[in-house]
A and B are shown apart, each in its own frame.
Chain A
Amino acid sequence: MDKFTVHTGQAMPLRRSNVDTDQIIPAVYLKRVSRTGFEDGLFAAWRANEPDFVLNQDRFARATILVAGPDFGIGSSREHAVWALLDYGFKAVISPRFGDIFRGNALKAGLLAVVLDEKIVQRLWDDIGDDPTTPVTVDLVERQVRWHGEVHAFELDDYTRWRLLEGLDDIGLTLQHSDDIAAYEAERKPWLPATANSLT
Chain B
Amino acid sequence: MGKTLAEKLWDSHVVRSAEGVPDLLYIDMHLVHEVTSPQAFEGLRLAGRTVRRPDLTLATEDHNVPTERIELPIADPVSRTQVETLRKNCAEFGVRLYPMGNLEQGIVHVIGPQLGITQPGMTIVCGDSHTSTHGAFGALAFGIGTSQVEHVLASQTLPMDPPKTMAVTVDGDLPEGVTPKDVILAVIAKTGTGGGQGYMVEYRGTTFEQMSMEGRMTVCNMSIEWGARAGMVAPDETTFAYLKGRPHAPSGPEWDQAVAYWRSLRTDDDAVFDAEVSLDATTLTPFVTWGTNPGQGAPLSGSVPDPAAFDDESDRVAAENALAYMGLSAGTRLRDIEVDTVFVGSCTNGRIEDLRAVAGVIKGRRVADGVRMLVVPGSMRVRAQAEAEGLDAIFAAAGAEWRSAGCSMCLGMNPDQLAPGERSASTSNRNFEGRQGKGGRTHLVSPLVAAATAVTGHLASPADL
Query: CB within 8 Å of B: which residues of A?
Result: 16-18, 20, 22-23, 26-28, 30-35, 45, 69-71, 74-80, 82, 97, 99-101, 104-105, 108-109, 157-159, 170-171, 173-175, 177-178, 180-181, 183-185, 188-200
B258 touches A191 (CB 8 A): yes
B residues within 8 A CB of A69?
A: 314
Query: Is residue B236 contacting chain A, with contact meaning CB distance below 8 A?
Result: no
Count residues on chain B whose CB falls below 8 Å from chain A CBs.
93
A175 engages B117 (CB within 8 Å): no
Given A30-B35, A31-B413: A79 touches B293 (CB 8 Å cut-off): no
Interface: B433 (CB within 8 A) = yes
A23 → chain B closest CB, angstroms? 7
**Pairs A-B, 8 closest by C-beta atoms:** A191-B250, A79-B145, A105-B145, A31-B78, A33-B38, A193-B248, A77-B129, A79-B146
Q: Does the CB pair B21–A199 fall under 8 Å?
A: no
Binding site for A on B (CB under 8 A): 15-16, 20-22, 24, 26, 28-29, 35-36, 38-39, 42-43, 47, 49, 52, 54-58, 63-64, 76, 78-79, 81-82, 85, 87, 90-91, 94-99, 102, 104, 116-117, 119, 121-122, 127-129, 143-148, 150-151, 154-157, 159, 161, 193-194, 197-198, 224, 227, 229, 248-250, 254-255, 257-258, 261, 293, 314, 317-318, 321, 411-413, 430, 432-435, 438
With CB as the reference atom, state the residue of chain B lying closest to A48: B438
**Could you say which residues of chain B place their CB within 8 Å of the CB of A26?**
412, 434, 438
7 contacts between A and B (CB under 8 A): A27-B411, A70-B194, A76-B411, A170-B147, A170-B151, A181-B155, A198-B94
Contacts of A198 in B (CB 8 A): 94, 96
Flag if B78 contacts A192 (CB, 8 Å).
Answer: no
When distances are taken between beta carbons in the complex, the residues of chain B under 8 Å from A82 are: 145
Docked-complex contact A100 and B96, CB < 8 angstroms: no
Whether A195 contacts B194 by the Cβ 8 Å rule is no
Question: In this complex, which of B121, B224, B229 has the most chain A Cβ atoms within 10 angstroms of its Cβ?
Answer: B224
Query: Distance in Å from the Cβ of A103 to the closest Cβ of chain B?
Result: 9
| Closest Cβ–Cβ distance, residue A79 to chain B (whole Å) | 4
- What residues of B have a CB within 8 angstroms of the CB of A171 in the complex? 47, 49, 150-151, 154-155
Chain A residues, CB < 8 A from B161: 157
Q: A31-B78, A159-B20 are in contact. List 12 more A-B contacts (CB 8 A).
A: A17-B318, A22-B411, A31-B35, A31-B76, A77-B127, A78-B35, A100-B197, A101-B224, A185-B156, A189-B261, A191-B250, A193-B28
Beta-carbon contact of A191 and B257 below 8 Å? yes
Report which of B35, B52, B129 forms a contact with A75, defined as CB distance below 8 A: B129
